[in-house]
Amino acid sequence: MHPAIFISVTLALAAIVDDPAIASPPPDAPTRWSIVPSPNEDGANWLVAVDATTGNDAWAVGYYIGDEGQYETLSAHWDGSAWRLVEPTNEGQTGDWLYGVAAVSPSEVWAVGTTAGPTDTYTSATLIEHWTGSAWATVPSPDPADDPIYGANELFDVRAFAPDDVWAVGWYWTPIGSAPLVVRWDGHRWKESPTPEDEYRQLVALDGTSSSDIWAVGQSLSLDDGYQALVMHWDGRAWTVVPTPRLAADVYLNDVSVLSPTDVWAVGSSVPANLDIQPIFLHWNGSAWSVIPSPHLSSHYNYLQAITAVSANRVWAAGYRTVTGGVVSFVERWDGAQWRIESTPNRPDGGNRLFDLAVNPAGGLWSVGYFYPDTSTDFRTLIYRRGAF
């Protein structure tokens, strides 16, 4: 559900010769996905998160480069007929980004991200914005890292279980590396939820069945294992790190989707030394996490950024990958037995990247990202809609 924070997107610009029989459906394969017209501010635009409450109430957030060359927050709303820009707030003098959104009702929406500190520091502050039905407003949020030079605080995802029970995750700087950051809204204020601290742990996504069953994912770094999957669970009392399979390749988890206490999916990418980057799917069965096999793609750079589970045999993951000629949108579906690539449309003459997925309560799915034209640096918003299941 997020920007490719930990993996250089420059890798995805290489053109790789694909085997269509293995890597993707035929070019003329039927698809239930369509590209929906989406608005843009002047300059470069990115959408990285989406959520919906009804068929005529959906939100997408991200960021764009404003008139002064500075990053500013971006939000768009679906009213059942069209996507329209709705101006959020900007707090920083050097840049603001929104990375996650959670819609509770048409008058209750939360968005999270970060605001940059002074340009001569590495500092940043958490950014939380609240929609109350008529406008966005910034709400004070915790910033545990307060070092004047290195004090970075960032939030990447948010999940609402009730108007007075909203959670967000990210990371903050510590003298020994980075620590997971979890904050919770209790209806009155945002407060930090303590997590196990260790060197170089970062959270980027969360989901759950209730406020006593929450999963958060990201990555950790150690000298022995490199980057590996990080999975943490909240049982209503405390956060614990839950073991995951250790792989020879670096592993980056980007999203998690929870169907039940015994059916949880996490998705990301594995990055071996030869840079044959492949999707990775982890599944929780109630007692342990395991790697679920998926087709090995002949394209070398394959990034899955988001996952959403509708039922045990209807799970979708979205991202982007390189094929002959450029970067294309990339969706896989779990049918209860195996993962298969689902055909998606792409805008021509540029790269198509998807970063988040959400269920459309009217039937089907939303997915958002951005389009990078071959002849311009003005990234354009990209919104996909999938028809009813």
- pLDDT tens digits along 146-156: 999 999 999 99
By CB atoms closer than 10 A (0-12, 13-18, 19+), residue 109 is: buried
Mean residue pLDDT of the chain comes to 91
Residue pointed to by tokens 């007075």: 164
- pLDDT tens digits along 72-91: 999 999 999 999 999 999 98
Contact between residue 233 and residue 244 where contact means Cβ atoms under 8 Å apart: no
114 domain-assigned: yes
- pLDDT tens digits along 279-289: 999 999 999 99
3 domain-assigned: no
Q: Count of residues for the chain?
A: 389
Strand partners of residue 270: 251, 278
Mean pLDDT over 23-34 rounds to 64
14 domain-assigned: yes
Q: What is the CATH number of the domain that holds 315?
A: 2.120.10.80
222 domain-assigned: yes
Res. 224: pLDDT tops 90:
no
Q: Which of 193-207, 240-254, 344-358 has the lowest mean pLDDT?
A: 193-207
For the chain, percent of residues with pLDDT exceeding 70: 92
* pLDDT at residue 19, rounded to an integer: 33
Expressed as residue numbers, the domain containing 56 is 9-386
What does DSSP assign to residue 6? S
159 domain-assigned: yes
Closest CA to 356 of 317, 321, 327, 310: 317
Res. 63: pLDDT tops 60:
yes
- pLDDT tens digits along 293-344: 999 998 879 999 999 999 999 999 999 999 987 999 999 999 999 999 999 9
Res. 26: pLDDT tops 70:
no
* pLDDT at residue 324, rounded to an integer: 85
What's the sign of the alpha-carbon dihedral 326, 327, 329, 334? positive
254 domain-assigned: yes
378 domain-assigned: yes
The model carries a pTM of: 0.92
Res. 197: pLDDT tops 50:
yes
Residue pointed to by tokens 């399979």: 245
- The b/e string for 337-367 (b: 16+ C-beta within 10 A; e otherwise) is eebebbbbebeeebbbbbbbbbbbeeebbbb
* pLDDT at residue 30, rounded to an integer: 67
Res. 23: pLDDT tops 50:
no
Mean pLDDT over 174-203 rounds to 93
**Separation CA 88–CA 85 (nearest Å):** 9
Q: Can you tell me whether residue 248 is helix, strand or coil?
A: coil
Contact between residue 62 and residue 367 where contact means Cβ atoms under 8 Å apart: no
Number of domains in the chain: 1
Contact between residue 229 and residue 253 where contact means Cβ atoms under 8 Å apart: yes
**Separation CA 33–CA 342 (nearest Å):** 9
* pLDDT at residue 1, rounded to an integer: 53
1 domain-assigned: no
